[in-house]
Structure 1
Amino acid sequence: MGQLEGKTAVLTGGSAGIGLATAVRLADEGAHVFVTGRREAELEAAVKTVGADRATAVVGDISKPADLDRLYDAVGARGRGLDVLVANAAVGAFVTLEETTEEHFDQTFGVNVRGTVFTVQKALPLLNDGASVVLVGSTAADRGVAAFGAYAASKAAVRSFARTWSSELKDRGIRVNVVSPAWIETPGGTAAFGDEETARAVREKVAATVPKGRFGRPEEAAAVVAFLASEQSSYVVGSNVYVDGGENQT
């Protein structure tokens, strides 16, 4: 018996990286996972990786309310409510203040903040009492990384919402927590650096400065999400759990 046996979970942004690793971990713990993503082919491949009998793919963009409605219609049709919600979908790019455009700002906040808000809000009628909501933040929210301002600010907003929602949902026993990864080896992370050569240079810098001496693995972040999703963390509410190899702790 897994820690989430018989539970129903929703995971946004589950096609690759931390999202895919989390989908696999939640399913391994016994949950049926509804996985969302914008790219159908990648999403279908992810569900095959998780296991077709353990996951359901729902193509959609969390910044579009109609797509969220379609997701939760599918969850509702299963008839078991929702026990775990992992709001993982996000976008990010290195853009300086001088280079910031309205389009870049609107996309970053439209997905990372607005999308997260309505991902959680629209789940409320389905969330069972005692459910767990896990928001995926970032250590960037605590650090002044050059050219990462919009992304960092969006993740700071996510952290703030977790505190507020913990207070608002306490009467239903719904716990809201944040997982804040740092440098995790993912396809999206490499793309954010622009090319593999730049990504390699960043990895070398991280290895020299982070106590753990390397990038994290998606499975390491997924393990923390699974902990917060389960009753193992029943007394953890409104917290921010770092998965950063010690980078922000030393």
Structure 2
Amino acid sequence: MGQLDNKTALVTGASSGIGLAIARRFAAEGATVYLTGRRKAALDAAVEQVGAVAQVGARGIAVQGDTSDLGDLDRLFVEIENRSGRLDIVVANAGVGDYGPLGAITEEEYERTTAINFKGTVFTVQKALPLLTAGSSVLLLSSSSALRAAPGLGVYAATKAAIRSLARTWAAELADRRIRVNALTPGPVETPGLNGLLAAFPHADDPTAVAPTAAEPTPPTPLGRRGRPDEVAATALYLAGDQSTFTTGAELLVDGGATQL
């Protein structure tokens, strides 16, 4: 028996990192999981990983697309409706971050970050509404960057703070449908996305550097390490399943204590 037997879930941005870890954990707990991503090869590889851990009756289904493209979202939800007819869990995870301190922010980077992180989250959840069942769970991925100064990440952090605000508002708006909405807020986690972002930060010996250090733009966690994607996935499982039926509008931090201690 899995904690998500007979559930249908959507995880956006599931080609790698936290999204893939969540999709794997949900399938291992019995859910049928729809995975989205922009890169077909990476998405196909992710579905293979999900299939390798899925319980009998569970599976991973790839739907390539960009969450900032409303046409792609329409196609996604038509496929979910045709195949499954409903959704019990939505994890709005797709997101990007570009290094850009004030004075160096480009319009292209601003548009990309806000379109994927904020617009993509808004319309993913809005377009999922007709398929969401009573008692379903919506998880919005925020970031600890929204809770503290992160030099060079102002636009990214602002989108993640907005996502936290959406979780509160939507939890109130959807309470009469018994749909729970919560924010899941990771700290520094070992993912390809974080490693790519770190590579963009200036070196410590650069006199123009804005980041606190060359290697780590975020302070170390009290636990002395970055998190693992599977640790975030474990918290996602709690919020998605029946162990959290009295939790809505909340923010759960998975940050090694970095924002609290």
Do both proteins adopt the same fold according to a TM-score greater than 0.5, normalized to the shorter chain? yes
Aligned length: 247
Counterpart among 105, 117, 120 of residue 115 in structure 1: 120
Partner of 2:231: 220
Going from structure 1 to structure 2, the CA distance change for 1:104 and 1:196 (only over 3 Å counts) comes to: closer
Return the alpha-carbon distance in structure 2 between the equivalents of residues 103 and 245 of structure 1: 33
User: Which is further off, 194-203 or 102-111?
Assistant: 194-203
Amino acid in structure 2 at the alignment position of 1:16: S
**Aligned-CA RMSD value:** 1.8
**1:65 aligned onto 2:65:** no
Per-residue CA deviations over 1:124-149 (Å, capped at 9, x if unaligned) read 00001111000010001111110100
Return the alpha-carbon distance in structure 2 between the equivalents of residues 73 and 240 of structure 1: 30
- Displacement of 1:102 in angstroms is 1.3
SS in 1 for 2:63: strand
User: Which is further off, 209-218 or 130-139?
Assistant: 209-218
Return the alpha-carbon distance in structure 2 between the equivalents of residues 37 and 249 of structure 1: 32
Return the alpha-carbon distance in structure 1 between the equivalents of residues 244 and 221 of structure 2: 27
Going from structure 1 to structure 2, the CA distance change for 1:145 and 1:78 (only over 3 Å counts) comes to: same
Return the alpha-carbon distance in structure 2 between the equivalents of residues 163 and 64 of structure 1: 25
SS in 2 for 1:202: coil
Partner of 1:180: 185
Q: Normalized against structure 2, the TM-score is what? A: 0.91
Counterpart among 238, 247, 250 of residue 258 in structure 2: 247
For the 8 Å contact 1:185–1:218, the answer to whether it is kept is: yes
Partner of 1:165: 170
Partner of 1:201: 215
For the 8 Å contact 1:112–1:155, the answer to whether it is kept is: yes
Q: Which runs of at least 4 in structure 1 moved beyond 3 Å after TM superposition?
A: 195-200
Return the alpha-carbon distance in structure 1 between the equivalents of residues 91 and 119 of structure 2: 15
Per-residue CA deviations over 1:11-34 (Å, capped at 9, x if unaligned) read 000000001100000001110000
Partner of 2:43: 43
For the 8 Å contact 1:190–1:196, the answer to whether it is kept is: no
Return the alpha-carbon distance in structure 2 between the equivalents of residues 196 and 180 of structure 1: 22
Going from structure 1 to structure 2, the CA distance change for 1:200 and 1:231 (only over 3 Å counts) comes to: farther
Structure 1 portions without partners, runs of 5+: none
Amino acid in structure 1 at the alignment position of 2:178: G
Return the alpha-carbon distance in structure 1 between the equivalents of residues 99 and 33 of structure 2: 32
- Displacement of 1:196 in angstroms is 11
Structure 2 portions without partners, runs of 5+: 53-57, 204-212
For the 8 Å contact 1:8–1:80, the answer to whether it is kept is: no
Partner of 2:138: 133
Q: Normalized against structure 1, the TM-score is what? A: 0.95
In percent, how many aligned pairs have the same letter? 51
For the 8 Å contact 2:99–2:200, the answer to whether it is kept is: no
- Displacement of 1:197 in angstroms is 11
